[in-house]
Copies of this chain bind each other. A is one copy, B any other.
């Protein structure tokens, strides 16, 4: 029953939710040998990027695997902000050196997403575009279970360890898209806060804003029951906010409220410069633990509910970067870190979406700034105000102007956002080109 001619569309009554098993805590990364031995595997490929490899973490994982009689090879060629080309290169490498019984991803979202794609193609055959979301690709369903993938995040940000999708740039079409199917979900998420102790403050701040946006966007996503009923064949991974994603997002916001500023300001010694950082220092284990938990929890939420305007805007903001080179990151090429790109329009986006779900916006503001959000008397301003206060405190650039865009660039950014219809349709309030243009214009400066 997808509709009823007399009464109009029947509303949705069903939501879906899934998450990988989780091993969480200090030292968890040193148990992966045992965990993979339970799957009876013999040969494992560890995927990582050069910055994380330089910290020695993937090598430590490989040595732990060896202790359980598992042969492990480290491939440190993962490209940060992966593309169809970089996925293909990783797949080619894995095919040439394979076969593999399992995979371990050690790194940020780039490493984990690349490993998901490698696992998919080596387990199920075919070409990347067979599986990429429509209309870019053919959105084929993986025909069989994938090999076990253990995801080990080294930043508190993307939550990619919790989700069943991966994101990539399709270079020839200048578009960001993804592959999304429950079979991509890692067999195990191993989340060890000790891996993040030396992240420089700028990386902690940017990655943390990705968490904030995941939690806020899925908490304010269109309620699952406010859509027309889908046939089982039509169900999608992102079903809108629902009672389970709410649980995770609310807790992620509470953890952010308690520890984000502290993780930035006293998290490490801040001496690092690379992706993943190279600083030493004892840092603040409790704050790092909260941030890592917040990232994983927000992933458990948005990985099922979805994200909307701020992430949709983040794609062109990152993709059309001019000369911006953020401190704390490698200086060899211009970039807008993902967490900055998705947060720069968030205050204005939530000002826009407020009227469609006021209670949720107010509750989110209260969770992110307990006891102080209500100092702002205009309800629609509470969440934007909480966000701009946070972003100022942790050194996020002041709007898209802070990363090099002016009002005259807005018309060029809008089409990149409008391509993300899958995301925009998750917004609780209908949003078109004009609204996106206004949100971008009002985000040139956030304070």
Which chain A residues have a beta carbon within 8 Å of chain B's beta carbons?
12-28, 31, 34-35, 38, 40, 141, 143-145, 182, 232-233, 243-244, 247-248, 251, 293
A27: chain B residues at CB < 8 Å are 13-14
Minimum distance in angstroms from A252 CB to a CB of chain B: 10
If A19-B19, A143-B40 touch, whether A293 touches B24 (CB-CB below 8 Å) is no
Measured CB to CB, the nearest residue on chain B to A181 is B38
Bound together, the chains give a CA A17 to CA B13 distance in angstroms of: 28
The 3 closest A-B pairs by CB, nearest first: A18-B21, A14-B25, A34-B232
Is the pair B22, A18 in contact by a Cβ cutoff of 8 Å? Answer: yes
Measured CB to CB, the nearest residue on chain B to A230 is B31
Which residue, A12, A38, A293, has most C-beta atoms of chain B within 10 A?
A38
Minimum distance in angstroms from A56 CB to a CB of chain B: 19
If A40-B143, A141-B38, A232-B34 touch, whether A21 touches B17 (CB-CB below 8 Å) is yes
Bound together, the chains give a CA A357 to CA B26 distance in angstroms of: 24
Measured CB to CB, the nearest residue on chain B to A10 is B27
Chain copies in the assembly? 2
Is the pair A21, B31 in contact by a Cβ cutoff of 8 Å? Answer: no
Bound together, the chains give a CA A156 to CA B123 distance in angstroms of: 38
Measured CB to CB, the nearest residue on chain B to A233 is B34
Is the pair B40, A13 in contact by a Cβ cutoff of 8 Å? Answer: no
Minimum distance in angstroms from A219 CB to a CB of chain B: 14
Measured CB to CB, the nearest residue on chain B to A14 is B25
Minimum distance in angstroms from A410 CB to a CB of chain B: 40
Is the pair A243, B293 in contact by a Cβ cutoff of 8 Å? Answer: yes
Is the pair B13, A23 in contact by a Cβ cutoff of 8 Å? Answer: no
A26: chain B residues at CB < 8 Å are 13-14
Bound together, the chains give a CA A251 to CA B20 distance in angstroms of: 20
Measured CB to CB, the nearest residue on chain B to A285 is B13
Minimum distance in angstroms from A222 CB to a CB of chain B: 16
Question: Which of the residues B20, B22, B31, B293 comes within 8 Å of A232, measured between beta carbons?
Answer: B31
Is the pair A22, B13 in contact by a Cβ cutoff of 8 Å? Answer: no
Bound together, the chains give a CA A244 to CA B191 distance in angstroms of: 13
Provide a sorted-by-A list of 13 A–B residue pairs whose CB atoms are within 8 angstroms: A13-B25, A14-B23, A14-B24, A14-B25, A14-B28, A15-B24, A15-B25, A17-B21, A18-B21, A19-B19, A24-B244, A34-B233, A243-B251
Is the pair A21, B233 in contact by a Cβ cutoff of 8 Å? Answer: no
A38: chain B residues at CB < 8 Å are 141
Is the pair B14, A22 in contact by a Cβ cutoff of 8 Å? Answer: no
Minimum distance in angstroms from A298 CB to a CB of chain B: 13
A233: chain B residues at CB < 8 Å are 34
A17: chain B residues at CB < 8 Å are 21-22, 24
Is the pair A35, B232 in contact by a Cβ cutoff of 8 Å? Answer: yes
Measured CB to CB, the nearest residue on chain B to A38 is B141
Which residue, A20, A31, A244, has most C-beta atoms of chain B within 10 A?
A244
Which residue, A26, A35, A247, has most C-beta atoms of chain B within 10 A?
A247
Bound together, the chains give a CA A182 to CA B188 distance in angstroms of: 12
Add 5 more A-B contacts to A13-B26, A18-B20 (CB < 8 A).
A15-B24, A15-B25, A17-B24, A34-B233, A35-B232
Is the pair A14, B40 in contact by a Cβ cutoff of 8 Å? Answer: no
A232: chain B residues at CB < 8 Å are 31, 34-35
Measured CB to CB, the nearest residue on chain B to A35 is B232
